[in-house]
Structure formats: structure tokens, C-alpha cells
Structure 1
Amino acid sequence: MQGRELIDTVEVPGGEALRLLRRGDEYIIAIGASELMSSRMSGSEEALATMSCERLRNSKNARLLIGGYGMGFTLRAALAALGPDAQITVAELVPAIIDWARGPMAALAGGCLDDRRVNLVIGDVAATIADAPRRFDAILLDVDNGPDGLVRAENDRLYSPVGLAAAKAALRPGGLLAIWSAAPDVRFTRRLAAAGYRVDEVHVRARAAGKGARHVIWFAQTD
């Protein structure tokens, strides 16, 4: 079995360091002992985009916010699903993630960040949400391994009642908040409902071929 090669390490504001690793042709982003994502497992991140776009009332000129670039799986799937007049804002807190996408993982990115429909924001997705009243048709969040601040403690606010209310205020009528998680969380499902969302909890496989671990996506719709 091939060993892992450390490509780069970067500090996260208010959190632990992220590491980019390579094993053969596979890339891995890890934090501490936890593997956040792997280029071998893209199915659930792609489903976050495709299943969200299927729920949009109008995908031709939809306005999406994606929180967390990761390895670009969600962004690429959204671009493939949306029309030429759509606009996607990608909020990425860590500039090095984008450097990795344009550098060692450029082939994996496939030029998605250069698509004219993409607006890249280097900053906290919570700030983008707070500055965008009634702007988005959908907000897609994949910044942690679930509804808690794994990458950094400040991310907890995204999943708090205050954060869920802020997301609701940033959505257009009938808008959608979609949140990816590595595992179920009954309390968070209840929190979404208490915040006034209509909640659909969907289990999807980690790999595009329908294999691997089961991940969770919450689709929370507004009225």
C-alpha cells in the first residue's frame, strides 16, 4: 500500500491546521486525525448540488451560495446542473484551499473556478450570508463534517438558531438551505424544524457509484 505524501499544511483562523496529502493519484484534506475529504469519494458532495438544483423553482437563472470550496465537487456539479444565466457565489475561508485547487489539484478542479458564472469570495460564509438579504435561491453548506464546528469553533453559529435564522433571511421566498453531514443528527433535524423550515433528510452514499459510507444531507425549504 502506498504511503501518504504531505503536500502542504495551512493554518485555519480560529481552528486546527489543514493538511493536503497525496497517496498515488488520490488527494486527501485532513484535520488532526480526521479525514475531511478525499478525491476518491465525491458522490455525496455532488449530490448536495444536484439534489438541491432539482428542488429549485427556477434553475435557469438561480442564485446559489456554496459555503466551502473543498475539492470543488459541489461547485462542478452545480455548474453542470444550472443554466447559463445562473450565478454561484463560493465562499471559502482559507485562501490556501483555492491555491491547492489552482495548483496541485488543478486537474481535479477542471477550471470550474474560472467559469463566468462563479463569483469567488475569500472569507467567512457566515459574513456572506449576513450581507445578503433575500439574495439567494439556495445556500449549500459543506464547511464541516456535520452541524458542528469541527474545522473551527466559530462555525457552530452557522447551525445555531441564530445562524439558521440568518440563512433564512438570506434566502428568497421558497429558498433552500442544504447542509452536508457525515452522520445523522436528530437534534439538528429538530432545530431546523423549530427554525421554521420544511425539512427533508436524505441519506446518500459517499461514492458516486453508490458505494461507501452513508452521508446525510438536510434540505430545509422556506415558504
Structure 2
Amino acid sequence: MLPRETIATAQIPGGDTLTLVSHGRDFIVMLGRDELMGTRMQFSEEQLAILTLAEIAAPNPRVLIGGYGLGFTYRAALGATGPKARIVVAEIVPDILDWAAGPLAHLTGDTLSDPRGEVVLCDVAALIDDANDGTTPKFDAILLDVDNGPDGIVRDANDRLYTRTGIGKAREALRPGGILAVWSAAPDHKFTRRLMDAGFSVDVREVRARPNNKGPRHTIWFARKT
């Protein structure tokens, strides 16, 4: 059995410690003993971007992604959009970008230098708030993968994203027809109801963690601003 080797650690602001480990050819980000993400089960995180952007009518969408992680959602978004798209990623852990440019550079490729994208070191909620200030352009899509879901908070401050207030702010930060997409390790019927109560048209889908239709079933909410 292959051992796991610790590559690096990083502190979540106001939260716990993340650990990047290697396991053979695979890389895994751990929170304590729990696996947050890994290179063996990236399909659902890619589908978060691909399935959302397939439903966006704008030819050059403006997209906000909450959480860089291992970059799966960001790379998928770049691959699913045209040359004039604008993709902003909010990441609160600076070490994550060091990992992307260091031990994970073979995954990252040239995506961090793509002129269509920008990774900002800040809370995604702050960028949502900025889009409601009357001067910053609104988004065609907001993709959230900052926790294990509404009931699996990694950082206490993220809780506001899933409240009625946070959902309302996200809705106002979207252009008409825009989509709020939220990744989760498990279903949450109460969260579905909160999205509907906020005025979204909601589609909930289960997506396998691996493209061969194996691995855990993850949940993605696609909430359209009607």
C-alpha cells in the first residue's frame, strides 16, 4: 500500500489547517482527516463550471468562482468560454496559489497567466458585495465551491453564503438569467428551499466524482435568476 506523503500545509484564515499530500501520482488536500478534494475525483468540480456555462446565453460571460482549490473548476471554466470571457476567482489562502505554481504546476499549466482570468486573494462574499455597489459589473454566473456544502462549512465566515441574506446578495449580483451554482458533497433540501424562496428557479443534479460514473455522488444546485 502506497504511503501518503505530506507536501505542504496552509492555514485557513479564521479556520483550520489544510494539508497537501501526495499518494502515488495523486494529490489530495486534507482538512484534518477529511479529504476536501483530490486529483482522482475532480469530475464534479469540473462539471460545476461546464454544466453552468452551457446554460449561459452570454457569448462572453463574466464569471465569479469562489475557491481555487486545485484549480479544476477554474480550468474547466477557461475551457468552456471564449476569448473575451472574464473569469474572477476568489481564494482566501495564499499558499494555495504557491502550491499551484509549485508542486502542482503540472496541473496548473499556463492557466494562471491566461488574460481572461484573475485570481484575487479575498473572500468571495466581498466580490459579491462589490457587484452590488452600483458601479461594478454584475456576473453571468457565480460558482461556489468553498466548503463541503451548505451543511459542511470549512470556515465559519462562509456560513453567510448559504443564509437567506447571502443568497439574496448573490442573486442581486447576477445579471438577469444569471446562474448561482453551488457544489456540495451531499444533498440539502433546506438549502434548495432557501434558493427557491429567494426567487431562483432551481435545478438540483447529482454528479459522480469520477467521469467513469464511479466514486461518490456530489450535489450541484443550479439556481437561475428569472
* Category of TM-score, reference length = shorter chain: over 0.9
Residue 52 of structure 1 is matched in structure 2 by 52
Residue 131 of structure 2 is matched in structure 1 by 132
Following TM superposition, the consecutive aligned residue runs of length 4 or more in structure 1 with deviations greater than 2 angstroms are none
Q: Match of 1:184, SS?
A: coil
Structure 1 residue 210: Cα displacement: 2.0
Q: 2:65 touches 2:89 (CA, 8 Å); kept in 1?
A: yes
Residue 153 of structure 2 is matched in structure 1 by 150
Matching of residues 71-82 of structure 1 within 5 Å: 71-82=70-81
Structure 1 residue 147: Cα displacement: 1.0
Question: How much identity, in percent, do the aligned residues show?
Answer: 57
Cα RMSD between the aligned structures? 1.0
Aligned letter for 1:130? D
Q: Distance in 1 between matches of 2:154 and 2:176?
A: 31
Matched, 1:167 2:170: yes
Q: Deviations over 1:164-214 (max 9, x none)?
A: 011011111111000000110011111111111110000000012221111
Q: Distance in 2 between matches of 1:111 and 1:149?
A: 32
Structure 1 residue 150: Cα displacement: 2.3
Matched, 1:19 2:22: no
Aligned letter for 2:95? A
Q: Match of 1:216, SS?
A: strand
Moved more, 208-217 or 78-87: 208-217
Q: Distance in 2 between matches of 1:169 and 1:96?
A: 31
Structure 1 residue 149: Cα displacement: 5.6
Alignment gaps of 5+ in structure 2: none
Alignment gaps of 5+ in structure 1: none
Q: Deviations over 1:1-35 (max 9, x none)?
A: 11110111111111111111111111000101210
TM-score by length of 1: 0.97
- Shift in alpha-carbon separation, 1:149–1:211, aligned structure 2, 3 A: closer
Q: 1:89 touches 1:119 (CA, 8 Å); kept in 2?
A: yes
TM-score by length of 2: 0.96
Q: Distance in 2 between matches of 1:143 and 1:72?
A: 12
Residue 67 of structure 1 is matched in structure 2 by 66
Q: 1:149 touches 1:156 (CA, 8 Å); kept in 2?
A: no
Q: Deviations over 1:56-85 (max 9, x none)?
A: 012x21000000001111111111110101
Residue 28 of structure 1 is matched in structure 2 by 28
Q: Distance in 1 between matches of 2:10 and 2:80?
A: 32
